């Protein structure tokens, strides 16, 4: 592999991350909530009920950061915490009706957004793009940075 290939990969990913808004600050808004809250709502909504530890693991956040994000969701009536009856240290999170509404809004908006992106790619190249992204995700997961 040439050095220029890895530099080119880095540049493409940097531009992609910037264009997708992944580097947005925590106070940026996604469907009426901050970007971190948006990610949490999506994961909770998809799981329907999830432990605080598992959510932190999925979002690659430490427990204290995850706990602050959940505190904000609870304060804004987007989520509720449930303590396990036998072990009060085990906390599960689920969305309220208000949170489910935000989740559905986020999912609908994102589905339409990515549908438009996919339609912008020539049909005969779409499978190739998806397969390449799958390989990229696998490679990134195998080679964590910093």
64 C-beta neighbours (distance < 10 Å), count? 9
pLDDT by residue for the chain (146 residues), tens only, comes to 666 888 888 888 888 877 776 655 544 567 778 888 999 999 999 999 999 999 999 998 888 999 999 999 999 999 999 887 777 678 899 999 999 999 999 999 889 988 999 999 999 999 999 999 999 989 988 887 76
* 12 belongs to a structural domain: no
Record the pTM: 0.79
Closest CA to 39 of 20, 16, 55, 25: 55
Side-chain half-sphere CA neighbours of 84 within 13 A? 11
Q: Contact, 91 vs 55, CB < 8 A?
A: no
* 15 belongs to a structural domain: no
The Cα 73–Cα 50 span in angstroms is 14
Number of domains, the chain: 1
Query: Which residue segment(s) compose the domain that 86 sits in?
Result: 27-142
* 66 belongs to a structural domain: yes
* 22 belongs to a structural domain: no
Q: According to the model, what pLDDT value does residue 146 have?
A: 63
Q: Can you give the CATH number for the domain in which 122 is found? A: 1.10.10.10
78 C-beta neighbours (distance < 10 Å), count? 24
Q: Contact, 31 vs 39, CB < 8 A?
A: no
* 104 belongs to a structural domain: yes
Q: Contact, 105 vs 31, CB < 8 A?
A: yes
């Amino acid at each position: 592999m040439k050095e220029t290939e890895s530099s080119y990969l880095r540049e493409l990913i940097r531009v992609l991350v910037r264009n997708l808004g992944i580097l947005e600050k925590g106070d940026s808004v996604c469907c009426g909530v901050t970007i971190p809250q948006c990610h949490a709502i999506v994961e909770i909504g998809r799981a329907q009920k999830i432990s605080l530890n598992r959510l932190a693991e999925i979002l690659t956040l430490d427990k204290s950061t995850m706990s602050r994000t959940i505190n904000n969701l609870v304060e804004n009536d987007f989520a509720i915490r449930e303590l396990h009856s036998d072990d009060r240290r085990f906390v599960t999170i689920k969305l309220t009706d208000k949170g489910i509404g935000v989740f559905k809004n986020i999912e609908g908006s994102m589905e339409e957004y990515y549908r438009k992106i996919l339609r912008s790619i020539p049909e005969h190249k779409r499978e190739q793009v998806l397969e390449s992204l799958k390989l990229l995700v696998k490679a990134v997961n195998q080679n964590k940075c910093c």
